[in-house]
Structure 1
Amino acid sequence: MHRVHTTPASPASALAGLVVLLGGLTATVGLGPVAWSVGLACGVGLLGLLAAAMGRHDRPGLMPADRVTLARGLLAAAVAALVAEAATGRDAAPLRITLVALAATALVLDGVDGPVARRTGTASDFGARFDMEVDAFLILVLSLHVARTSGWWVLGIGLARYALVAATWVWPWLRAPLPRRSWARVVAAVQGVVLAVAAAEVLPDRVTLVALAVAAMLLAESFGRQVHDLRRLALRPPATDRVVTGFAFLVVWAALVLPDTVDLLTPAGLLRVPIEGLVVVVVALLLPGVARRPVAVVVGLILAALVVLRLLDMGFRVVFDRPFDVLNDWYYLGPGLGVLRDSIGGSAALAVTVGAGALLVALAVGLPASTLRVAGSVHRHRRGSARAVLALGVAWALLAVAGVQLASTSAAHQAVDAVAQVRADLADRRTFAREIGSDSFATENDGMLAGLRDKDVLLVFVESYGRVAVQGTTYAPGVDAVLDAGTRRLRAAGFSARSAFLTSPTFGAGSWLAHASLQSGLWVDSQQRYDQLMTSDRLTLSDAFRRAGWRTVSDVPADTHEWAQGQAFYHFDQMYDSRDVGYRGPTFGYASMPDQYTLAALRRLELTGSDRRPVMAEVDLVSSHHPWTPLPRMVPWARVGDGSVYAGMPEQGPSADVLFRDPERVRAAYGRSVEYSLRALVSFVADQPDPDLVLVVLGDHQPHSYVTGADPGRDVPVSIVAHDPAVLDRIAGWGWQDGLRPSPTAPVWRMDAFRDRFLTAYGR
């Protein structure tokens, strides 16, 4: 028999090799003291652990495959040194290229030590464990590096192995051996390759994040499967095994028939035959064992993604009255979390976020595990599975002939719709680019807005002020009364108003889309269109006023940070937010300050004094923003001051969690919030009448569907208020109705039509 020679473990020679490697890196890309310390510490730690393990296994030396693994470990230590160097602030291309090259070499060598061990007949548990630990260390180092640019969640990929080791201290049954799984090695290789590619920074950020997320889900599935198998071997009797298999069937069934609207989430909606499920069973019957497991995992991951999309569809239909857009709507998750935090508090919002994250992990792990179990059960019971598919297929066909719709294709429709939406979004970029470039007002300067010369013009958006606030709802009479009283009060102060409706491009949220549509004269109904518009030089109303000599102002009390687009696209001369209007009072749910204070601060900061340019200001009134509680009260304008007068008011109203237990109370609270905003605005105008003041007052969108009811449309009221009769004479041909309250027969325009008609009416 061929004798394989062992090599005595020589820590000194291995450490010397590492020093030479670090020295070479210092000469080529440059390593500082921190990098040297990290590299040497990792090398010494590796050699120390190796020596201890060899002592426990009574091994006098290293086998050939072990020497390959040791070389990989030293390369991983060098990669750690480069990661430490990059963390000090250096991120030069040579350093990054070298880091990726060393990591790639270590990954390639991972495919060498196993064949060497098998060819030389020296495969052992020691060698396998040594190989696995070096793999885990390299993955940890790479994940630490990638996490700096892609998010610290990536570090979870590197810590997964060590978390499992730590778990064995609590659950000793996790230490039990399992048969080798080729899929587990594939998943481990995927982690290394994806992290190395991410470290190279050669792919677009979004593609890199998707690849990392897929790698993380595969890793979660692999570890979850390992834990599942160990638990089953340790504790599960045969009867329980059958229960778990039955539960897996139910999970897959529910994932396939889950609807995308809350209304269809009923027992009858779930008791349908998923045609996709029958197809999956047939595929499991036909596939050989080698292919069945990876296909089952892929199907499970696809199902998990489709379930997430359908849950998002449910939420978006409630809030936005439309399904989730796969390409564009991820943006809303951040603002949505902010609204949630402002509405229910930081702790509750954190709990919701953690719960959502736990659900994602459960889906990413549970559905692949369920499809694996279903596929295995189908394969073990081939004849019974074939009969079940045949019986369900026949039952479906007979019931279909009888007019009973028992079949479900929810998952297939979801996938097809998502692909179609992505294709439509990509095509829309080209369409919208042409629309942006077509603008008859782009080069017009002479006489622009001459009909408003020397007037202060306020473009006031009242949050969630929709048609339902003035017509056809239980809360409309209260709002109508405020509008009618406001019309009378304004008339007594010398003002007149004309009103109609505009159709908003958004519903329930996304105010910035409405603002952009009104200002640009374009239909901005998606985040993609908004982002595309923000990088253009399209003429906006604020820019038109600025060209014509007005001082342009943005007053957005809901903002808590810089708004880059305010200057880069809208070209406002001055922008106010919650930080710089002097407010010292309490917050009211989402609203950082009452609308009355917003208007008082605007008057104080911009509308007083005679030696100034006329002002055009876009003002957002947000007291009528979800969750519509707590609500401030009007105070005498002379007492507004720095807002301290509002202290104690928030505590007098119901909290959001109490209010939302009763849908009728929610609707009533919405109505009262709109009443407050309109009352504050009318009082602002009438309390100190300014004959040179003009207002364009409108809603940004309808409130959420749990306030509006079904099919409310997207119309919002709009009014132009002026003291000078000549201002309203210029829009006499529009057919708008007298007063602040438009009737059901009032004209309706799309919101993007307003800019051109406004500029035309007041052009010369």
Structure 2
Amino acid sequence: MILVWLALLNGLFLVPGLALPGANPLISLEVLVIWALLCGLHNQNLRYRVTLALAVTYGLLAFLVLADTLIRESLGRGLNLYLEVRLLDATWNLLDTNVGGAPAAIALTVLLVLLLALGWLFRFGLERLRHHSPGHLGKPLWLISGLALAGAVTPWIGSPALAFVANQASLIKETHRTTQAFAAELAATPGRLDQPKRLTTLADTDVVFGFIESYGISTLTDVRYQPVISQSLTSMAKQLTDAGLTVATGRLRSPIQGGQSWLGHLSVLSGQWIKNQLAYETFLSSGYSTLIDDFRSTGHTTVAVMPAITRAWPEGRLFRYDRVYDHDDLGYQGPPFNWVTMPDQYTWRRFQELREQESQPLFAELALISSHAPWVPILPILDDWEAIGDGRVFRQWEGTGEAPVSLWRDPDRVREHFAKAISYALETAGGFAAHYVQEDTLLILLGDHQPAPLITGEDASRDVIVHVISADPALVEPFLSGDLPGFRRGVIPDLQEEGALMSRFRPFLHRQFSQPLLSGTVSRDLEDN
């Protein structure tokens, strides 16, 4: 009987190994050490407290392993406690808006009950093991010693729970070290707030960055999506040509996958590799300049259009935009569509209205969200852009499409909806360009990151697609110079050559469109901030 309980506990202790790279052991030394501990505990009250503490500890470990699995499937990386504690609020917000507050709370409650049940099973196993164990340490100690020696020469014997804890400790230490090094590098590098660059070639040009959610290179390299997206790009190419527009397309490598879009946005705007939340916060508190400062020093009014921002966004002021238009500022009177607060077509049209109110050249960042999970429902494109108004026209599709919880039971159908959502985002962006992009406009459409590994598969490229569009060919020509590799004419990027890092985009714009800001000529707006 003792072998049965040892086997059960051994299986439970192997679970943390699932969150570690490499071969997993088949025998856990931890269970043998605990067996020896139990054999040495003869005081019943002390043994009760120890087994309870071990059960709670194991429940926590099981929770972290589950979190690691979910993070790998959604963000394409493993658990890092040093980073994850800063994302709890964003995670809850995503659950709340996708499945609703009550279902999300129920799901978390069920998860908690399962973890408690697992902890109880672990504690019950410890009690039964103690009940069937000898009253002395001889056998456990001999077995531990023998297996420990064997573990030195075979990968089938190990300490997965201890290795999991050690791995997290190492990640915490390394992440802290790299964050401190990044902060020191920012402090020592030219480019702080008093050193933006004027983009003189673009002084009279509206420059618009439209970040398309989850628009990654897999939309063209994965056979599951390529037919749908190629057709959309062909349609977009015809729209642009008919409107007399020039387009070049390339690819850039994003620091993230599956989520945390703001890291990709800031990597492009800052010219720094913003690979995690700590780097993001470190950069924003550093005073280092971004493209926003570059364009303000050039004479542009700088705005951000953020339809997904529905709550207070205190870090937004650190970007130093002249104006930030969040959900409440965009005047949308239509219905939300699950996580998507308003469809892209409304966002584009509302942006054009705001643009027409400006007397100065405009630099704008738009965070487009119709291609954000859960990718349901997929709306039609309205032919008459002028009839969009305040968005009430979209009420006719309120409540359409199935519930996300139903759709996401079938991964194949999720992937099908993903392709349709990207297609919608591209067609609306192309429609905006065809209607409103003129010779005084440079429109840059780019993905923020690849979708989750559930969509792309494991080990997919982290490249995103970038389209550069204008009615003035001279504004597009620098992207074809080879200074930033991988760009070529048309709407299809090079599918073989990897893209440059997103952090190289700002330096590229500096080289092609700017001259250094003269010493002592900091703009009054920058001094005021």
TM-score (norm 2): 0.87
Aligned partner of residue 730 in structure 1, secondary structure: helix
Structure 1 residue 468 displacement after superposition: 0.8
Q: Does 1:467 align with 2:217?
A: yes
Aligned partner of residue 415 in structure 2, secondary structure: helix
Q: Which residue of 2 aligns with 1:308?
A: 63
Structure 1 residue 532 displacement after superposition: 1.4
In structure 1, distance between residues paired with 2:189 and 2:156: 53
In structure 1, distance between residues paired with 2:430 and 2:19: 39
| Conservation of the 8 A alpha-carbon contact between 2:35 and 2:129 | yes
Higher Rg: 1
Deviations 1:336-389 (A, max 9, x none): 2211122122321121122234345556x63784476257436x5336x85577
In structure 2, distance between residues paired with 1:325 and 1:477: 37
Answer 1 or 2: higher relative contact order, Cα 8 Å, separation at least 6: 2
1:651-666 → structure 2 map (5 Å cutoff): 651-666=399-414
| Conservation of the 8 A alpha-carbon contact between 1:276 and 1:409 | yes
| Conservation of the 8 A alpha-carbon contact between 1:460 and 1:620 | yes
Q: Does 1:721 align with 2:469?
A: yes
In structure 1, distance between residues paired with 2:9 and 2:197: 66
In structure 2, distance between residues paired with 1:630 and 1:373: 52
In structure 2, distance between residues paired with 1:718 and 1:284: 61
Q: Which residue of 1 aligns with 2:344?
A: 595
Q: Does 1:753 align with 2:504?
A: yes
Aligned partner of residue 322 in structure 1, secondary structure: coil
1:22-33 → structure 2 map (5 Å cutoff): none
Q: Which residue of 2 aligns with 1:382?
A: 135
Cα distance change of structure 1 residues 294 and 259 upon mapping to structure 2, 3 Å threshold: closer
Q: Which residue of 1 aligns with 2:88?
A: 333
Q: Which residue of 1 aligns with 2:33?
A: 279
| Conservation of the 8 A alpha-carbon contact between 1:484 and 1:741 | no
Q: Which residue of 2 aligns with 1:37?
A: none
Structure 1 residue 316 displacement after superposition: 0.7
Q: Which residue of 2 aligns with 1:709?
A: 457
Deviations 1:675-702 (A, max 9, x none): 1001000001102342211112111111
Q: Which residue of 2 aligns with 1:428?
A: 178
Aligned partner of residue 583 in structure 1, secondary structure: coil
Query: CA-atom RMSD, angstroms?
Result: 3.1
| Conservation of the 8 A alpha-carbon contact between 1:321 and 1:507 | yes
TM-score (norm 1): 0.62
The residue identity in structure 1 corresponding to 2:418 is Y
Q: Given the alignment, which residue of 715, 738, 748 partners 2:489?
A: 738
In structure 1, distance between residues paired with 2:409 and 2:307: 29
More helix by share: 1
Deviations 1:551-603 (A, max 9, x none): 11110101102322222x21011111111211111111210010000000001
Q: Which residue of 2 aligns with 1:258?
A: 15
| Conservation of the 8 A alpha-carbon contact between 1:297 and 1:371 | no
Q: Given the alignment, which residue of 532, 535, 539 partners 2:282?
A: 532
Aligned partner of residue 755 in structure 1, secondary structure: helix
Cα distance change of structure 1 residues 343 and 450 upon mapping to structure 2, 3 Å threshold: same
Cα distance change of structure 1 residues 627 and 408 upon mapping to structure 2, 3 Å threshold: farther
Deviations 1:644-702 (A, max 9, x none): 11123243322212211221111110010001001000001102342211112111111
Structure 1 residue 506 displacement after superposition: 0.9
Structure 1 residue 295 displacement after superposition: 4.6
Structure 1 residue 457 displacement after superposition: 0.8
Deviates more, 1:248-257 or 1:508-517: 248-257
| Conservation of the 8 A alpha-carbon contact between 1:518 and 1:754 | yes
Q: Which residue of 1 aligns with 2:514?
A: 763
| Conservation of the 8 A alpha-carbon contact between 2:463 and 2:498 | no
| Conservation of the 8 A alpha-carbon contact between 1:471 and 1:744 | yes
In structure 1, distance between residues paired with 2:108 and 2:442: 44
The residue identity in structure 2 corresponding to 1:509 is G
1:517-666 → structure 2 map (5 Å cutoff): 517-567=267-317, 569-605=318-354, 607-609=355-357, 612-635=359-382, 636-666=384-414
In structure 1, distance between residues paired with 2:19 and 2:404: 22
Structure 1 residue 308 displacement after superposition: 1.9
In structure 1, distance between residues paired with 2:502 and 2:197: 24
In structure 1, distance between residues paired with 2:197 and 2:320: 20
1:424-503 → structure 2 map (5 Å cutoff): 424-442=174-192, 448-503=198-253
In structure 1, distance between residues paired with 2:259 and 2:213: 9
| Conservation of the 8 A alpha-carbon contact between 2:16 and 2:61 | no
In structure 2, distance between residues paired with 1:446 and 1:662: 49
Structure 1 residue 485 displacement after superposition: 2.3
Deviates more, 1:678-687 or 1:280-289: 280-289
Deviations 1:517-570 (A, max 9, x none): 111111111111112122110111112111221111110101102322222x21
Identity rate of aligned residues, in percent?
28
Q: Does 1:323 align with 2:71?
A: no
In structure 1, distance between residues paired with 2:4 and 2:101: 36
Q: Which residue of 1 aligns with 2:521?
A: none
Cα distance change of structure 1 residues 444 and 477 upon mapping to structure 2, 3 Å threshold: farther
Q: Does 1:350 align with 2:98?
A: no
Structure 1 residue 479 displacement after superposition: 0.8
| Conservation of the 8 A alpha-carbon contact between 1:555 and 1:618 | yes
| Conservation of the 8 A alpha-carbon contact between 2:438 and 2:470 | no
Cα distance change of structure 1 residues 730 and 330 upon mapping to structure 2, 3 Å threshold: same
In structure 1, distance between residues paired with 2:150 and 2:168: 31
In structure 2, distance between residues paired with 1:638 and 1:493: 17
In structure 1, distance between residues paired with 2:190 and 2:440: 29
In structure 2, distance between residues paired with 1:302 and 1:392: 22
In structure 1, distance between residues paired with 2:505 and 2:312: 28
Matched residue count: 509
Deviates more, 1:386-395 or 1:486-495: 386-395
In structure 2, distance between residues paired with 1:261 and 1:743: 37
List alignment gaps of at least 5 residues for structure 1.
Answer: 1-241
Q: Given the alignment, which residue of 663, 669, 693 partners 2:417?
A: 669
Q: Which residue of 2 aligns with 1:101?
A: none
Aligned partner of residue 523 in structure 1, secondary structure: coil
Aligned partner of residue 430 in structure 1, secondary structure: helix
In structure 1, distance between residues paired with 2:509 and 2:321: 19
Deviations 1:267-294 (A, max 9, x none): x989x32221112222333456486555
In structure 2, distance between residues paired with 1:528 and 1:263: 23
The residue identity in structure 2 corresponding to 1:595 is D
The residue identity in structure 1 corresponding to 2:37 is V
Aligned partner of residue 328 in structure 1, secondary structure: helix
Cα distance change of structure 1 residues 691 and 260 upon mapping to structure 2, 3 Å threshold: farther
